[in-house]
Protein backbone atom coordinates (compact mmCIF):
# COMPACT_ATOMS: atom_id res chain seq x y z
CA UNK A 1 0.00 0.00 0.00
CA UNK A 2 1.38 3.43 -0.90
CA UNK A 3 2.09 5.97 1.84
CA UNK A 4 -0.78 8.24 0.76
CA UNK A 5 -3.27 5.33 0.79
CA UNK A 6 -2.02 4.23 4.20
CA UNK A 7 -2.31 7.79 5.54
CA UNK A 8 -5.79 8.11 4.04
CA UNK A 9 -6.88 4.80 5.58
CA UNK A 10 -5.46 5.84 8.96
CA UNK A 11 -7.33 9.14 8.73
CA UNK A 12 -10.54 7.31 7.87
CA UNK A 13 -10.18 4.99 10.84
CA UNK A 14 -9.52 7.93 13.15
CA UNK A 15 -12.51 9.81 11.77
CA UNK A 16 -14.75 6.82 12.24
CA UNK A 17 -13.69 6.32 15.83
CA UNK A 18 -14.01 10.03 16.64
CA UNK A 19 -17.51 10.09 15.12
CA UNK A 20 -18.69 7.67 17.75
CA UNK A 21 -17.66 10.10 20.49
CA UNK A 22 -19.63 12.88 18.81
CA UNK A 23 -22.84 10.87 19.15
CA UNK A 24 -22.90 11.29 22.92
CA UNK A 25 -22.98 14.17 25.38
CA UNK A 26 -19.93 14.67 27.61
CA UNK A 27 -21.87 13.50 30.66
CA UNK A 28 -22.88 10.33 28.84
CA UNK A 29 -19.30 9.66 27.77
CA UNK A 30 -18.14 10.05 31.35
CA UNK A 31 -20.79 7.62 32.59
CA UNK A 32 -19.91 5.12 29.87
CA UNK A 33 -16.23 5.46 30.76
CA UNK A 34 -17.04 4.76 34.42
CA UNK A 35 -19.10 1.72 33.42
CA UNK A 36 -16.34 0.48 31.13
CA UNK A 37 -13.77 0.93 33.91
CA UNK A 38 -16.00 -0.95 36.33
CA UNK A 39 -16.35 -3.87 33.91
CA UNK A 40 -12.67 -3.86 32.85
CA UNK A 41 -11.67 -5.56 36.08
CA UNK A 42 -8.01 -6.15 35.15
CA UNK A 43 -7.68 -2.58 33.76
CA UNK A 44 -6.03 -3.67 30.50
CA UNK A 45 -8.36 -1.58 28.32
CA UNK A 46 -10.17 -4.61 26.88
CA UNK A 47 -13.26 -6.29 28.30
CA UNK A 48 -12.86 -10.06 28.10
CA UNK A 49 -14.62 -13.07 29.58
CA UNK A 50 -12.67 -12.87 32.85
CA UNK A 51 -13.77 -9.23 33.26
CA UNK A 52 -17.40 -10.22 32.71
CA UNK A 53 -17.15 -13.05 35.24
CA UNK A 54 -15.68 -10.69 37.85
CA UNK A 55 -18.32 -8.02 37.13
CA UNK A 56 -21.26 -10.40 37.32
CA UNK A 57 -19.78 -11.99 40.46
CA UNK A 58 -19.60 -8.54 42.07
CA UNK A 59 -23.28 -8.06 41.22
CA UNK A 60 -24.20 -11.46 42.64
CA UNK A 61 -24.99 -13.05 39.29
CA UNK A 62 -23.56 -16.13 37.62
CA UNK A 63 -23.75 -16.64 33.88
CA UNK A 64 -22.80 -19.81 32.01
CA UNK A 65 -19.78 -19.65 29.73
CA UNK A 66 -21.91 -19.71 26.56
CA UNK A 67 -23.87 -16.64 27.75
CA UNK A 68 -20.64 -14.75 28.44
CA UNK A 69 -19.35 -15.68 24.99
CA UNK A 70 -22.64 -14.50 23.48
CA UNK A 71 -22.24 -11.13 25.23
CA UNK A 72 -18.69 -10.75 23.92
CA UNK A 73 -19.76 -12.03 20.50
CA UNK A 74 -21.79 -8.86 19.95
CA UNK A 75 -18.52 -7.05 19.36
CA UNK A 76 -16.83 -7.70 15.99
CA UNK A 77 -13.42 -6.81 17.48
CA UNK A 78 -11.75 -6.77 20.90
CA UNK A 79 -14.02 -4.85 23.24
CA UNK A 80 -12.07 -1.66 23.94
CA UNK A 81 -13.77 1.58 24.97
CA UNK A 82 -14.41 2.73 21.39
CA UNK A 83 -16.01 -0.61 20.49
CA UNK A 84 -17.98 -0.44 23.76
CA UNK A 85 -19.37 2.94 22.63
CA UNK A 86 -20.20 1.54 19.19
CA UNK A 87 -22.20 -1.27 20.77
CA UNK A 88 -24.05 1.21 22.96
CA UNK A 89 -24.74 3.45 19.94
CA UNK A 90 -26.03 0.46 18.00
CA UNK A 91 -28.35 -0.51 20.84
CA UNK A 92 -29.57 3.06 21.21
CA UNK A 93 -30.04 3.69 17.48
CA UNK A 94 -32.07 0.52 17.06
CA UNK A 95 -35.62 0.97 18.14
CA UNK A 96 -36.19 -0.02 21.71
CA UNK A 97 -38.74 -2.57 20.70
CA UNK A 98 -40.32 -4.85 23.24
CA UNK A 99 -37.65 -7.52 22.72
CA UNK A 100 -34.77 -5.13 23.43
CA UNK A 101 -36.52 -3.75 26.48
CA UNK A 102 -37.38 -7.26 27.65
CA UNK A 103 -33.69 -8.23 27.56
CA UNK A 104 -32.82 -5.19 29.66
CA UNK A 105 -35.50 -5.94 32.26
CA UNK A 106 -34.52 -9.61 32.38
CA UNK A 107 -31.28 -8.59 34.10
CA UNK A 108 -33.51 -7.90 37.11
CA UNK A 109 -35.13 -11.34 36.85
CA UNK A 110 -32.39 -13.79 37.91
CA UNK A 111 -34.88 -16.63 38.46
CA UNK A 112 -36.35 -16.15 34.97
CA UNK A 113 -39.92 -15.84 36.22
CA UNK A 114 -40.85 -13.25 33.60
CA UNK A 115 -41.46 -10.75 36.39
CA UNK A 116 -39.42 -8.05 38.08
CA UNK A 117 -40.07 -6.79 41.58
CA UNK A 118 -40.89 -3.09 41.49
CA UNK A 119 -38.87 -2.33 44.64
CA UNK A 120 -35.76 -4.06 43.27
CA UNK A 121 -36.20 -2.22 39.97
CA UNK A 122 -36.62 1.16 41.69
CA UNK A 123 -33.55 0.63 43.86
CA UNK A 124 -31.47 -0.34 40.82
CA UNK A 125 -32.65 2.65 38.81
CA UNK A 126 -31.67 4.94 41.67
CA UNK A 127 -28.29 3.27 42.22
CA UNK A 128 -26.72 2.20 38.92
CA UNK A 129 -25.92 3.94 35.64
CA UNK A 130 -27.71 7.21 35.02
CA UNK A 131 -29.38 7.41 38.41
CA UNK A 132 -33.02 8.36 38.21
CA UNK A 133 -34.90 10.54 40.67
CA UNK A 134 -38.06 9.44 42.47
CA UNK A 135 -40.13 11.54 40.04
CA UNK A 136 -38.44 10.02 36.99
CA UNK A 137 -39.01 6.51 38.31
CA UNK A 138 -42.65 7.21 39.09
CA UNK A 139 -43.08 8.58 35.54
CA UNK A 140 -41.37 5.54 34.04
CA UNK A 141 -43.46 3.09 36.05
CA UNK A 142 -46.84 4.78 35.83
CA UNK A 143 -47.93 2.38 33.05
CA UNK A 144 -46.80 -0.69 35.01
CA UNK A 145 -49.39 -3.07 36.36
CA UNK A 146 -48.34 -4.70 39.61
CA UNK A 147 -49.47 -8.10 40.78
CA UNK A 148 -50.33 -8.82 44.43
CA UNK A 149 -46.63 -9.39 45.25
CA UNK A 150 -45.44 -6.08 43.77
CA UNK A 151 -44.09 -7.62 40.56
CA UNK A 152 -44.31 -6.31 37.02
CA UNK A 153 -44.88 -8.73 34.15
CA UNK A 154 -41.84 -7.94 31.99
CA UNK A 155 -43.26 -8.75 28.54
CA UNK A 156 -46.53 -6.94 29.12
CA UNK A 157 -44.78 -3.84 30.48
CA UNK A 158 -42.25 -3.81 27.63
CA UNK A 159 -45.02 -4.05 25.05
CA UNK A 160 -46.80 -1.15 26.73
CA UNK A 161 -43.82 1.20 26.96
CA UNK A 162 -42.52 0.35 23.48
CA UNK A 163 -45.91 1.06 21.94
CA UNK A 164 -46.21 -2.49 20.67
CA UNK A 165 -49.33 -3.12 22.78
CA UNK A 166 -51.03 -0.24 20.95
CA UNK A 167 -49.98 -1.59 17.55
CA UNK A 168 -51.32 -5.06 18.39
CA UNK A 169 -54.85 -3.70 19.08
**37 & 4 share domain:** yes
**5 & 86 share domain:** yes
**68 & 12 share domain:** yes
Measured distance between the N- and C-terminal CA atoms of the chain, rounded to whole angstroms: 58
Query: What's the pLDDT score for residue 149?
Result: 94
Query: What's the pLDDT score for residue 4?
Result: 46
**60 & 100 share domain:** no
- Give the three-class secondary structure for 149: coil
**133 & 101 share domain:** yes
Q: Are 47 and 40 in contact (CB under 8 A)?
A: yes
Query: What's the pLDDT score for residue 39?
Result: 94
Query: What's the pLDDT score for residue 59?
Result: 83
The domain that holds 59 is classified in CATH as 1.10.238.10
The residue segments making up the domain with residue 168 are 95-169
Query: What's the pLDDT score for residue 40?
Result: 95
The pTM of the full predicted model, rounded to 2 decimals, is 0.48
Task: Give tens-digit pLDDT for 43-91.
Answer: 999 999 999 999 998 888 888 999 999 889 988 899 999 999 988 887 7
Type and span of the H or E element at 15: helix 3-22
Residues of the chain below pLDDT 50:
2-18, 167, 169
**52 & 135 share domain:** no
What's the structural domain count of the chain? 2
Q: What angle do CA 152, 61, 41 make, to 5 degrees?
A: 130
Amino acid sequence: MSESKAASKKKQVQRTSSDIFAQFRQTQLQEFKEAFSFIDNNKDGIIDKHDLVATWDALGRVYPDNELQKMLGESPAPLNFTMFLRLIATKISGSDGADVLKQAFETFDPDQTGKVNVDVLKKSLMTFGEKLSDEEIEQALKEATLDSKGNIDIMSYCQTISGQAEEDK
